[in-house]
Copies of this chain bind each other. A is one copy, B any other.
Amino acid sequence: MPTTEKSPPQKRPGGRSARIRAAVLEATLEELADGGYASFSLESVARRAGVHKTTLYRRWGTRERLLLDAMLERARDVVPVPDTGLLRGDLLELARSVAASLAAPESEAVVRAAAGIGPRDPALMEAVRSFWDERLRLDGAIMERAIARGEARPDADPEPVIEAVLGAVYMRLLVTARPLDDAFLEAVVEAVAGGIAAR
C-alpha cells in the first residue's frame, strides 16, 4: 500500500501497513474515550496516531468506516465466541466478556457515543448494524452447538437467545444504570438457559 510517510527500508510493506493499521485503530479508541464521538475525526485520529491524514482518508474514507473497523478489531480481540462445552457456560462466558469489555473506558465510550447518536447519523448506524449482524451470527454458534449436543431444542432460534442475554447486559449499562455484577450475569443466564417454565 502506498503511503505518504517514509518507509524504514528494513521492513516489508505488509508489516508496516499492519503496524500503521494497528496504531490508527488504537488511536481511534483512545480518541473516542477522551473526546467522545462529537470531536472524533479522521484528522484528530491521524494526529494522535502520528500518521498523515491522507493515509486515513485513503484507507478508511469516512470516520464511520474507521470506527467500525476499530470496533470489529476490539470485539475480535476481547470478545471471542466461547466454547466451554455447555450452553450455560458459553452464555455466561459471553456475558462476562461483554461486561468486561464494557468496563474498558474506550469500549464504553464507543457504545455510549453510538447509542447517543442513533438515527441522526445513518451512515454510522449502518456500520454498527453490519458489525452486529456479523457478530450475532458468529455468537449464534453457541446455540447451534447446544442444539447439536441435544442441550437446546432443535427449533430454538439462536440470535434472539444471544440478544436476550447480551441485551440484559447492555440495558444495565445504557438504560437502567443498575449494577453490572456477576450475580446479575448468572441470574440472566439462569433465566434464559435454565428456562422459567414450570416442569
- A residues with a Cβ closer than 8 A to B are 87, 108, 111-118, 125-126, 128-129, 132-133, 136, 143, 146, 150-154, 156-157, 159-161, 163-178, 184, 187-188, 190-199
Closest chain B residue, CB of each to CB of A136: B176
A171 and B163 contacting across the interface, CB-CB below 8 Å = yes
B199 and A133 contacting across the interface, CB-CB below 8 Å = no
Question: Which residues of B sit under 8 angstroms from A170, Cβ to Cβ?
Answer: 167, 170-171, 174-175
Closest chain B residue, CB of each to CB of A105: B119
Partner of A128, one of B113, B132, B176, B191: B176
> Which 10 residue pairs spanning A and B have beta carbons closest together?
A116-B116, A195-B195, A167-B167, A167-B171, A132-B176, A167-B168, A115-B115, A115-B174, A160-B187, A129-B177
Q: Which interface residue of A157, A159, A176, A178 has the most chain B CB atoms within 10 A?
A: A176
B112 and A116 contacting across the interface, CB-CB below 8 Å = yes
A-B contact pairs, 28 of them (CB 8 A): A87-B196, A112-B117, A113-B116, A115-B115, A115-B116, A116-B117, A118-B173, A118-B174, A118-B177, A129-B177, A132-B175, A152-B197, A153-B197, A154-B198, A157-B187, A161-B191, A161-B196, A163-B168, A163-B188, A164-B165, A164-B167, A164-B191, A170-B170, A170-B171, A171-B171, A195-B195, A195-B196, A195-B197
A164 and B176 contacting across the interface, CB-CB below 8 Å = no
Question: Which residues of B sit under 8 angstroms from A178, Cβ to Cβ?
Answer: 129, 132-133
Say yes or no: A171-B176 contact (C-beta < 8 A), given A118-B112, A157-B191, A191-B156: no
B175 and A115 contacting across the interface, CB-CB below 8 Å = yes
Question: Which residues of B sit under 8 angstroms from A151, Cβ to Cβ?
Answer: 197-198
